[in-house]
Amino acid sequence: MGSSGIRWGFNIGNWKPSRNEWMLAARCVMQEEKDRIGRFVFTKDGKASMSGRLLIRKVIADQLKIPWNAIKLGRTERGKPYLANTKSYDYYGKPHAANTDSDYDYDAALFPNFNFNLSHSGSYAVLAAERDRNCGIDIMDVARPGSRDIPEFFRLMRRQFTPHEWETIKGAGSEWDQLEMFYRHWCLKESYVKATGTGLGVSLQRIEFHPKTMVLKQDVIIKDTELYFDGDLQSSWRFEETKLDEDHCVAVALNRDNQDEPPPHFKILSFTDLTSSAIPILPEDENFWTIFASKEEKPKRQQRDRTSYQQPSGY
């Protein structure tokens, strides 16, 4: 994996699963995961959940060499997924001889702090993984906020950001630029609370971000945004920010920063990549495909339209 970790993405929007692909994917997750995925009303949400579970299993199988069908996943009380295996495996995917009949921490001496986190929004599911430090990731699709106009949307969300952050958001330029800056700040806050494992139990007003680079660009990773918690600069945290495309911003939060490390770029995986190390867990289920194929992709809603956004109106 290297010292700078892994950043993967999967394009949900471009994935139109064939019968064989969806049947294979369904066989490569746990039954409870499959059941949860099957309950989604729209295929877009099912695909997002499925690809997320596959991303997690792939990074564990590839990096820790635990066989795909031996991986056990759990969730913390706050909902953060973690590796729940208690039996140790060697680099060839075989249980250590001394541990075959007993429970021990998985590869504890090699990866005591292996950490991963997942997010999805819009057209992408993304994953960040680190060998020896906590990480959190969040992605946001920069889209019109439902039927509300931008000023009304900001008014409803005013308590989620500090006065300094609102000054940054509203000073970004056009209403669309302001919306992008809003979602960028949301990504930063989400990535931090996910890395710390606190979820939304902490007040977002206590978390304040100071971007230095004001415009994110596709395939360019910046790491100069500063975090203040209760007014104090948190210099041990680094935030990697970029755009996967014109409409998706992403942030990765890392603790125990090493400024000398070059930030890793996102690798967009294909379905073949995603399942390259997969070992089926469940039997085939033709009905799972039939139900999936009968669903709508997503609900009808207003389309994204950058040209409709006007210059700031002074709110």
223-267: pLDDT as tens digits: 999 999 999 999 999 999 999 999 999 999 999 766 677 889 999
DSSP-derived secondary structure letter, 302: P
pLDDT at 75: 77
Burial of 258 (0-12, 13-18, 19+ CB in 10 A): exposed
Q: Looking at the structure, give the CATH architecture of the domain made up of residues 6-308.
A: Alpha-Beta Complex (3.90)
Q: What percent of the chain has pLDDT over 70?
A: 83
136-173: pLDDT as tens digits: 999 999 988 876 789 999 999 999 999 999 999 999 99
CA torsion angle 54 124 183 228 (round to 10): 40
User: Per the structure block, which two tokens stand in for 216?
Assistant: 């994110």
pLDDT at 8: 98
Least confident of 75-89, 182-196, 206-220: 75-89
pLDDT at 94: 54
3-state helix, strand and coil shares in percent for the chain, rounded to the nearest 5: 35, 20, 45
> In one letter, which amino acid is 151?
P
pLDDT at 242: 98
Q: CB 274: neighbour CB atoms within 10 A?
A: 22
Average pLDDT, the chain: 86
pLDDT at 262: 84
Residue 301: pLDDT band with limits 50, 70, 90 = low
CA torsion angle 43 48 50 51 (round to 10): 130
Whether pLDDT at 202 is above 70: yes
Q: CB 287: neighbour CB atoms within 10 A?
A: 9
Question: 237 φ, ψ to 5°?
Answer: -105, 140
DSSP-derived secondary structure letter, 89: B
65-106: pLDDT as tens digits: 889 998 888 877 766 777 877 554 444 445 544 444 334 344
Give the DSSP per-residue string, 232-281.
EE-TT-EEEEEEEETTEEEEEEESS--TTSPPPPPEEEPHHHHTTT----
Q: Quick one: which of 45, 40, 174, 122 has its CA closest to 303? A: 122
User: How far is 24 from 61, CA to CA, in rounded Å?
Assistant: 17
pLDDT at 256: 76
User: Per the structure block, which two tokens stand in for 186?
Assistant: 């949301």
pLDDT at 133: 87
Degrees to nearest 5, angle at CA 232 with 231 and 238? 115
Rounded alpha-carbon distances, angstroms, from residue 10 to 25, 133, 190, 288, 302: 14, 23, 20, 22, 24
Residues 6+ apart with CB under 8 A from 149: none
Whether pLDDT at 175 is above 90: yes
Degrees to nearest 5, angle at CA 193 with 191 and 194? 60
pLDDT at 147: 66
